[in-house]
């Protein structure tokens, strides 16, 4: 008769750590519905994001930890995910007291830059789409009020619907493209019409996009910010709890000067920086595998080192990325096997990874015998 028990299995699984969160899976509440039947062991591993870049390693480590126990004949593991929100205890430290979260949204990720022309919207669009391709529930808020290009870049031609909510009045139902819910000022103004607004009007539109849009249940709401450090950035920081910001820059010094200012702005409003994306990092000419650094080299690496944050990606300069934006098909959808698409997929995994690290929540209770 086997002496194998659920308690012995759990004890063995305590040797398996989440490499990012630096704790074992049992303490983190990632082991669910453990069941032992004779020599057969089955359980679920619930990761903190569907975009976990270490999913295969965690599964392999769990299988090895259980298989070495005496009496184990078969190990069945079901890998799942559950995007956890920010723990309540962190509210005061993160400057979140008094803020109203967006209903149904677990994490808000701001994509920002110090200046225009660095490809911030391209990064936001491909980040959101790549997260959706990883299995996450994603929305994309185009807060770049002065240059709302997201509808074009996502290929959205459908207007948001308007419905009456019993408590909120009229609210928008955002259209969906590439599995991403999209809301933009571009839906509300005529083509080529300029937006000439002062601060209070900008604050009002940000408020509406947060609280007057039915986002549904989202793991991540990616916000494409306007360039610089102006009213929209301050409004977002004052209105809602922002999990973190992704900073976008090209490698040259003039771009990084402005990004450094944006870093300090986010520090002042106590929004964590998830990392840096160096866009237009290098170029490969036709028939040449050599990387040509047209705008400078490793500026993003130097920037991330200066501010003690992650270099999340170095995105190549290729025509297909621009073409995808013009056609309304982000490169991760248009040409998923391309180098640029793979870079954006890796970026999505790293951003999800940093969100999980930044918002490690309390462990969920372990469930035994309910596989």
Higher-pLDDT residue of 16, 292: 16
315 Cβ contact partners less than 8 Å away, ≥ 6 residues apart: 119, 123, 277, 278, 279, 280, 281, 321, 340, 343, 344, 347
What kind and span of H or E run contains 56? helix 55-67
Q: What is the pLDDT of residue 285?
A: 79
Start-to-end C-alpha separation, the chain: 23
Number of Cβ atoms within 10 Å of the Cβ of 141 = 28
Q: For residue range 301-342, what is the model confidence (pLDDT) as tens digits? A: 888 888 899 999 999 999 999 999 999 999 999 999 999 999
- Percent pLDDT > 90 in the chain is 60
Task: Band the pLDDT of 98: cuts 50, 70, 90.
Answer: low
Domains contained in the chain, CATH given? 6-81 (3.30.300.130), 88-335 (3.40.50.300)
- Most confident by average pLDDT, 93-97, 188-192, 239-243, 298-302: 239-243
Q: What is the mean pLDDT of the chain?
A: 87
pLDDT recorded at residue 222:
98
Question: What is the average pLDDT across 235-261?
Answer: 88
* Confidence class for position 195, pLDDT limits 50, 70, 90: low
- Tell me the per-residue pLDDT of 259-294, one tens digit each, with 9 for 90 and over: 888 888 898 888 999 999 999 998 887 777 788 888
Distance from C-alpha of 344 to C-alpha of 340, rounded to nearest angstrom: 6
Would you say 147 and 226 are in contact if contact means Cβ atoms under 8 Å apart?
Answer: yes
pLDDT at 289: 75
- Whether residue 362 has pLDDT greater than 50: no
- Bridge partner list, 314: 278
Predicted pLDDT at 371: 46
Residue with tokens 């690496």: 301
Q: Is the pLDDT of residue 54 over 80?
A: yes
What does the chain come to in residues?
Answer: 371
Residue 232 CA to residue 144 CA, distance in Å, equals 8
Average pLDDT over residues 83-87: 80
For residue 92, name the pLDDT band (cuts at 50, 70, 90): very low
Report the C-alpha gap between 225 and 95 in whole angstroms: 20
């Amino acid at each position: 008769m086997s002496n194998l028990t659920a308690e012995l299995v759990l004890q063995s699984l305590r040797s398996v750590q989440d490499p990012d969160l630096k704790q074992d899976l049992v303490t983190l509440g990632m082991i669910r519905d453990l069941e032992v039947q004779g020599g057969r062991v089955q359980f679920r591993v619930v990761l903190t994001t569907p975009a976990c870049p270490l999913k295969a390693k965690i599964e392999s480590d769990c299988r090895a930890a259980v298989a070495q126990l005496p009496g184990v004949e078969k190990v069945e593991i079901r890998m799942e995910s559950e995007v956890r929100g920010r723990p309540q205890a962190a509210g005061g430290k993160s400057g979140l007291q008094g803020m109203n979260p967006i209903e149904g949204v677990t994490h808000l990720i701001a994509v920002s830059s110090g200046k225009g022309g660095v490809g911030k919207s391209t990064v936001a669009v491909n980040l959101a789409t790549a997260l959706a391709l990883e299995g996450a529930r994603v929305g994309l808020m185009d807060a770049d009020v002065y240059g709302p290009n997201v509808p074009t870049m996502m290929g959205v031609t459908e207007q948001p619907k308007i419905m009456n909510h019993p408590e909120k009045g009229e609210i928008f139902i955002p259209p969906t493209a590439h599995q991403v819910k999209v809301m933009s000022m571009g839906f509300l103004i005529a083509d080529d019409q300029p937006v000439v607004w002062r601060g209070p009007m900008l604050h009002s539109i940000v408020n509406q996009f947060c609280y007057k849009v039915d986002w549904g249940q989202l793991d991540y709401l990616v916000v494409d910010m306007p360039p610089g450090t102006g009213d929209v950035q301050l409004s977002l920081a004052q209105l809602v709890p922002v999990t973190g910001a992704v900073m976008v820059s090209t490698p040259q010094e003039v771009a990084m000067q402005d990004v450094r200012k944006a870093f300090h702005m986010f520090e002042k409003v106590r929004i964590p920086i998830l990392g840096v994306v160096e866009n237009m990092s290098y170029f490969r000419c036709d028939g040449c595998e050599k990387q040509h650094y047209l705008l400078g080299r490793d500026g993003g690496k130097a920037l991330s080192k200066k501010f003690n944050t992650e270099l999340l990606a170095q995105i190549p300069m290729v025509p297909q990325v621009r073409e995808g934006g013009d056609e309304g098909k982000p490169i991760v959808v248009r040409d998923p096997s391309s180098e640029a698409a793979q870079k954006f997929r890796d970026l999505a995994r790293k951003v999800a990874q940093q969100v999980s690290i930044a918002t490690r929540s309390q462990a969920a209770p372990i469930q035994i015998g309910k596989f």
